[in-house]
Amino acid sequence: MGVNPSTLDARLKAILQEAPAPALYEVVRHGTPHFASTLKAAVAVGVRAFSGTATTDPELAINWMLGPELAERWDDPARTKHVRWVIL
């Protein structure tokens, strides 16, 4: 059972036309005033999402890669540094 690409394309176009684009996202281009702060914030969200916390599971492949030395050490700066490196 496949999806007809032309039907999907038409539905996607209709959804995008109905949605107010600025409310969904903002394109921040390199060299614009907000680029550095937006990139920093996006990376911080990614690091938190993939690192995990005491109450939320980490991304399992990254957690495996970090090994037993950093397992469940949620606030360890080394864990944050390594996950940040992977995200970037």
pTM assigned to the model: 0.62
Domain assignment of residue 7, yes or no? no
pLDDT at 14: 76
- For 15-35, what is each residue's pLDDT tens digit? 767 766 555 566 778 888 888
Domain assignment of residue 23, yes or no? no
Q: Using CA atoms, how far apart are residues 88 and 21, in angstroms rounded to an integer?
A: 27
What is the number of domains present in the chain?
1
Domain range for 42 = 28-87
Domain assignment of residue 13, yes or no? no
Domain assignment of residue 73, yes or no? yes
* Inter-helix orientation angle 35-51/77-87, to 10°: 120
Answer yes or no: are the C-beta atoms of 41 and 50 closer than 8 Å: no
Domain assignment of residue 1, yes or no? no
Q: Which two structure tokens, joined as six digits, stand for 33?
A: 């005033």
Residues in the chain, pLDDT under 70: 1-6, 8, 16, 19-26
